[in-house]
């Protein structure tokens, strides 16, 4: 029996993880956490035997506790308290944003496995997350579909035989547009992703291609590869999830219809593989796979992310935090689509990069970037 804590249990990844866990007797959900979604948490608590519950928002936690007639943890340390109180084997971190960082660190420091959907923790916390894994002995099992695929393509290939890793990108809803064609994008258009149904923040990140930039940094951290050995290719069908290019010219690919239950299941049941009711690729109907280079001029967020990754230190934390605020402002209708990229670039220009030597350094960089973007939005910069 594997004991699983699900952080971000009411979201897109969290609810799919609950579905995966419900289908397997040897996966036991022991803890559930979310931000402020009372109804979602109450429903998840009733559908599982979870012993420990948390909602980050104290008022929401109070309402959920009243409804369930049992305690619900809350407040800034709720996620770490929930991990300690439940003692899981695996923590699935499916919180959105840098808010997930401390839980990732705590999981790995305590030697628990971390099924990581929350790529922002690895982007902002980078080396700290890796150090926590080394110190505590917890393993990082990527849930992001590309990184799950890459890990499987790599297998135990000796590092010197690997030439590069290739991350595929659908290109999002605005693939093929010019920069001028992005100016009038509405929130509704940005939320209409062609191949994946996901939470709002990552859907906007997919439209700007920031998501792919965050994933390049994530791959750099997970697989300990220089940026020069991480490639991005646009692949509109989202059927090839990742590839490993080997020195003899072979390209090993991982394929399947886009379905997050596949990488979620792989991470939760690792090293075993369990059945997932995903739609198989069928050969009775012809289909084709297209590939094209990414347009780094139109989708500058991808370029900014790679630059921040190469700059290192707290630069990726600044990039991530600035993006979180800018995306929230775009979703609230306060700024236009292209302003997301402008605000992230501005934050990277104005927040000094520091060494990434402590959680305090990440927290300070994150706060400075958020403040900078908020001031610029307040000034009507966008």
Footprint on this chain of ligand NAD (rule: CB under 6 A): 8-14, 33-35, 37, 56, 79, 94-96, 99, 117-120, 144, 196, 198-199, 201-202, 260
Cβ atoms of residues 140 and 129 within 8 Å: yes
Whose tokens are 């800018």? That residue is 326
Distance CA 139, CA 106 (A): 12
The smaller minimum CB distance to ligand NAD, of residues 9 and 382, is found at 9
Q: Which residue is nearest to Mg ion (CB)?
A: 144
The closest of 226, 232, 229 to 301, measured between CA atoms, is: 232
Choose among ligand NAD, Mg ion, none what residue 38 binds, the Cβ cut-off being 5 to 8 Å by kind.
none
Q: How far is the CB of 96 from ligand NAD (least distance, A)?
A: 4
| Contact partner, 260, from Mg ion, ligand NAD, none, Cβ < 5-8 Å per class | ligand NAD
CA distance 146 to 202: 14
Smallest distance, Å, CB 128 to Mg ion? Answer: 22
SS3 at position 346: helix
Q: Does 218 bind Mg ion (CB under 5 A)?
A: no
Min. distance of Cβ 87 from Mg ion in angstroms? 30
User: Measuring CA to CA, how many Å separate 62 from each of 43, 67, 73, 76, 277?
Assistant: 15, 9, 9, 15, 37
Q: Which does 119 bind (CB under 5 to 8 A by kind): Mg ion, ligand NAD, none?
A: ligand NAD
Interaction of residue 144 with Mg ion, rule CB under 5 A: yes
Residue 12 interacting entry, from Mg ion, ligand NAD, none, C-beta within 5 to 8 Å by type: ligand NAD
Distances (CA, A) of 254 to 118, 195, 246, 343: 21, 17, 14, 35
The window from 23-31, 80-88, 137-145, 259-267 that contacts Mg ion (CB under 5 A) reads 137-145
CB of 343 to ligand NAD, least distance (A): 19
Number of residues lying near Mg ion (CB under 5 A):
3
The whole-angstrom separation of Cα 201 and Cα 260 is 16
Tokens of 3: 């004991």
Q: How far is the CB of 129 from ligand NAD (least distance, A)?
A: 13
Binding at 117: pick from Mg ion, ligand NAD, none (beta carbon under 5-8 Å per type): ligand NAD
In this structure, are residues 150 and 223 in contact, taking their beta carbons and an 8 Å threshold?
Answer: yes
Q: In the complex, what is the shortest distance from the CB of residue 136 to Mg ion, in angstroms, rounded to a whole number?
A: 26
To the nearest whole angstrom, how small is the minimum distance from the Cβ of residue 35 to ligand NAD? 3
Q: By the 8 A CB rule, do 325 and 347 touch?
A: no
User: Is the CB of residue 302 less than 8 Å from the CB of residue 243?
Assistant: no
Q: Which is nearer to ligand NAD, 118 or 208 (CB)?
A: 118
If we measure between CA atoms, which residue out of 143, 122, 95, 94 comes closest to residue 241? Answer: 143
The set of residues, in sequence order, having a beta carbon less than 8 Å from that of 357 and lying 6+ positions away, is none
Q: Which does 138 bind (CB under 5 to 8 A by kind): ligand NAD, Mg ion, none?
A: none
Tell me the closest approach of the beta carbon of residue 13 to Mg ion, in angstroms.
11
CA–CA distances in Å: residue 295 to residues 104, 124, 232, 268, 301: 33, 25, 10, 35, 11
Between 309 and 354, name the residue whose CB sits nearer to ligand NAD: 309
- Closest separation in Å from C-beta 198 to Mg ion: 9
By Cβ distance, which residue is nearest to ligand NAD?
11
Question: By CB under 5 A, what part of segment 88-117 binds Mg ion?
Answer: none
Considering only CA atoms, which of 145, 202, 194 is closest in space to residue 11? 202
- Taking contact as CB under 5 A, which single stretch among the options 139-147, 170-178, 288-296, 332-340 is the one that binds Mg ion? 139-147
Give me 325's structure tokens. Answer: 């605020």
Select from ligand NAD, Mg ion, none the partner in contact with residue 30, using the beta carbon and a kind-dependent cut-off of 5 to 8 Å: none
Q: Which residue number, 33 or 114, has a Cβ lying nearer to ligand NAD?
A: 33
Q: Which residues make up the interface to Mg ion (CB under 5 A)?
A: 144-146
């Amino acid at each position: 029996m594997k004991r699983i804590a699900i952080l971000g249990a009411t979201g897109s990844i969290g609810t799919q993880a609950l579905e995966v866990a419900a289908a397997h007797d040897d996966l036991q959900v022991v803890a559930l956490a979310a931000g402020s979604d009372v109804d979602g948490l109450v429903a998840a608590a009733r559908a599982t035997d979870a012993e420990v519950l948390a909602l980050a928002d104290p008022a929401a936690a109070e309402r959920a506790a009243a409804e369930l007639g049992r305690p619900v943890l809350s407040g800034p340390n709720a996620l770490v308290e929930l991990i300690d109180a439940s003692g899981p084997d695996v923590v699935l971190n499916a919180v959105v944003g840098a808010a997930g960082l401390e839980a990732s660190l705590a999981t790995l420091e305590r030697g628990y496995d971390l099924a990581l959907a929350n790529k922002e923790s690895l982007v902002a916390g980078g080396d700290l997350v890796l150090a926590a894994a080394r110190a505590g002995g917890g393993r990082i099992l990527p849930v992001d579909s590309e990184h799950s695929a890459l890990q499987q393509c790599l297998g135990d290939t000796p590092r010197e035989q690997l030439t590069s890793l290739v991350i595929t990108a659908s290109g999002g809803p605005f693939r093929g547009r010019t920069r001028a064609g992005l100016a009038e994008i509405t929130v509704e258009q940005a939320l209409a992703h062609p191949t994946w149904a996901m939470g709002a923040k990552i859907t906007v990140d997919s439209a700007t291609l920031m998501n792919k930039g965050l994933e390049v940094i994530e791959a750099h951290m997970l697989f300990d590869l220089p940026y020069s050995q991480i490639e991005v290719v646009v692949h509109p069908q989202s059927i090839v999830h990742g590839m490993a290019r080997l020195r003899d010219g072979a390209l090993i690919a991982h394929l399947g219809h886009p379905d997050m239950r596949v990488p979620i299941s792989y991470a939760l049941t690792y090293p075993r593989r369990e059945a997932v009711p995903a739609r198989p690729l069928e050969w009775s109907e012809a289909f084709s796979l297209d590939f094209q280079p990414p347009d780094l001029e139109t989708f500058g967020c991808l370029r900014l992310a790679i630059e921040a990754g190469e700059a290192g230190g707290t630069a990726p934390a600044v990039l991530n935090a600035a993006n979180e605020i800018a995306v929230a402002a775009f979703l609230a209708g306060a700024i236009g689509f292209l302003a997301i990229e402008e605000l992230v670039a501005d934050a990277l220009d104005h927040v000094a990069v520091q060494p990434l030597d402590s959680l305090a350094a990440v927290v300070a960089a994150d706060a400075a970037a958020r403040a900078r973007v908020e001031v610029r939005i307040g000034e009507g910069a966008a």
